């Protein structure tokens, strides 16, 4: 493997590195394009807990849409809590306001006993649709997100995976 790497000319090595950079930048542009199209900063999320079972299992990959601002009771939304970085996937159980007033929502996990007021930021009794909601769930793929969960729970796996991808790109011949 190292002999293959050393047999590459500087030009070929540079071409392989640029190829790898092109793959990464294309993935980034696709993510940003999807963010613009869905009007969501995070158009795809992974379910991290069992709070929405049986609707969604841990590891399900969810697709979000944030273009409609009239969220209904029963709709599943993803929201961020101020001061925390982990998105939460729960169902809307109550709505307040709307029309001329800002739409405010109360959420609850299907597998939870109580509503989410304990999860919200201190002093917050409900979510404001326009500022707290990342998007509404419009589709999902079961269990595909387990890769993300494994990479989050075992950071060394990220390094190994990126290293293997880099080696494969550099050693690939055209």
Report d(CA 91, CA 137) in Å as an integer. Answer: 10
17 and 55 in contact (C-beta within 8 Å)?
no
Report d(CA 120, CA 117) in Å as an integer. Answer: 5
Active site residue 90: yes
Active site residue 154: no
Report d(CA 72, CA 93) in Å as an integer. Answer: 9
Considering 7, 39, 40, 90, which one is annotated as catalytic? 90
Report d(CA 134, CA 84) in Å as an integer. Answer: 14
Report d(CA 106, CA 118) in Å as an integer. Answer: 11
Q: Is 10 exposed, middle or buried (0-12, 13-18, 19+ CB in 10 A)?
A: exposed
- Is the previous residue joined to 43 through a cis bond, with omega within 30 degrees of 0? no
Considering 70, 85, 110, 116, which one is annotated as catalytic? 116
Considering 39, 40, 49, 51, which one is annotated as catalytic? 51
Active site residue 51: yes
List the catalytic residues. 51, 90, 116
């Amino acid at each position: 493997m190292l002999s293959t790497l050393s047999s590459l000319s500087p030009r070929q090595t540079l071409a392989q590195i640029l190829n790898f950079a092109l793959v990464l930048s294309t993935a980034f542009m696709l993510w940003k394009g999807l963010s613009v199209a869905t009007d969501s900063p995070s158009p795809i999320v992974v379910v991290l807990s069992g709070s929405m079972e049986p609707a969604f299992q841990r590891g399900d990959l969810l697709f979000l849409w944030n273009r409609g601002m009239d969220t209904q009771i029963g709709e599943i939304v993803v929201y961020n809590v101020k001061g925390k970085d982990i998105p939460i996937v729960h169902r809307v159980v109550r709505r307040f306001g709307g029309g001329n007033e800002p739409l405010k929502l109360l959420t609850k996990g299907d597998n939870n006993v109580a509503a989410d007021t304990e999860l919200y930021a201190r002093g917050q009794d409900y979510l404001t649709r326009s500022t707290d909601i990342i998007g509404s769930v419009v589709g999902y793929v079961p269990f595909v997100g387990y890769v993300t969960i494994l990479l989050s729970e075992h950071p060394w796996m990220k390094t190994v995976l990126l290293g293997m991808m880099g080696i494969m790109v550099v050693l690939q011949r055209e």
